[in-house]
Amino acid sequence: MRKYCNCITNRLHRMATTVVRKPASFRLRVDLIEKLKRNATRENRTLNNYVESVLLDVVCHEPNEETKAAIEEVMSGKNPQKVYTDVGGMFADLDK
């Protein structure tokens, strides 16, 4: 599950208040629209609701503090990452 910035707080707040929406028109590829419709149906949501939530996820996604610290650690080179040649080795290390 993704961690969100203030968007999750905003979403919860919006549930209790009226959200002003502005109509928008976009030209999308037919195959993309069909995939979006299938995903919306799979999640038992309207196409509009599904697309809005996908866009919110993309625009508002921000890693949590632990993830930010891990990214900073990797980028600094303080803890060189082990490169795995097979999945079994990776899972063996995770089980330790």
Lowest mean pLDDT among 29-43, 51-65, 78-92: 78-92
At position 90, the amino acid (one-letter code) is M
Q: Structure tokens of 74?
A: 């990797």
Residue 75 near residue 69 (C-beta atoms within 8 A):
no
Check residue 2 and give its pLDDT: 47
> In this predicted model, what pLDDT tens digit does every residue of 18-57 receive, in sequence order?
889 999 999 999 999 999 999 999 999 999 999 999 999 8
pTM of the model: 0.51
DSSP letter string, 22-85:
--------HHHHHHHHHHHHHTT--HHHHHHHHHHHHHHB---HHHHHHHHHHHHTSSPPPPPS
Mean pLDDT of the chain: 81
Residue 48 near residue 40 (C-beta atoms within 8 A):
no
Residue 50 near residue 42 (C-beta atoms within 8 A):
no
